């Protein structure tokens, strides 16, 4: 009986709506600030860098229906770590280089060859 407006919060599975690109932008902006606080530095990632990152993420094959906040967060933290460890590099140059590869999903060995 649960629908788009009414949710059963006691059910074993709670179906959540996907975050919008605008909500993801706010999330990664806050993550950038938190990363800076954690490592005691000022992130030099710009508004345009955040937009370029999200564009890259949402342009992946299958992203329209299968991308999750977890994947985006994992890739964004990796980008922040690279920028923190290499202060001479710019986010735009990393994202536009074609060498930035998003983190692969790890598949457990027991399921690696499973097919439907």
Tokens encoding 43: 């992130």
List CB contacts of 60: < 8 A, sequence separation 6 or more: 67, 102
List CB contacts of 94: < 8 A, sequence separation 6 or more: 79, 82, 83, 100
Is the per-residue pLDDT at 111 higher than 60? no
Q: Average pLDDT in the 17-42 region? A: 95
**Most confident option among 4-8, 64-68, 81-85, 108-112:** 81-85
The Cα 15–Cα 65 span in angstroms is 15
Q: How far is CA 18 from CA 13, 69, 88, in A?
A: 15, 8, 35
């Amino acid at each position: 009986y649960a629908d788009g407006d009414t949710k059963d919060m006691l059910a074993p599975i709670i179906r959540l709506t996907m975050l919008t690109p605008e909500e993801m932008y706010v999330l990664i902006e806050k993550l950038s600030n938190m990363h800076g606080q954690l490592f005691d530095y000022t992130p030099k990632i710009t508004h345009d860098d955040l937009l370029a990152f999200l564009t890259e993420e949402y342009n992946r094959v299958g992203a329209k229906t299968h991308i999750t906040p977890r994947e985006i967060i994992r890739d964004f933290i990796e980008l922040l770590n690279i920028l923190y460890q290499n202060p001479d590099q710019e986010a735009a140059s990393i994202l536009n280089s074609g060498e930035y590869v998003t983190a692969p999903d790890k598949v457990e060995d027991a399921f690696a060859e499973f097919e439907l």
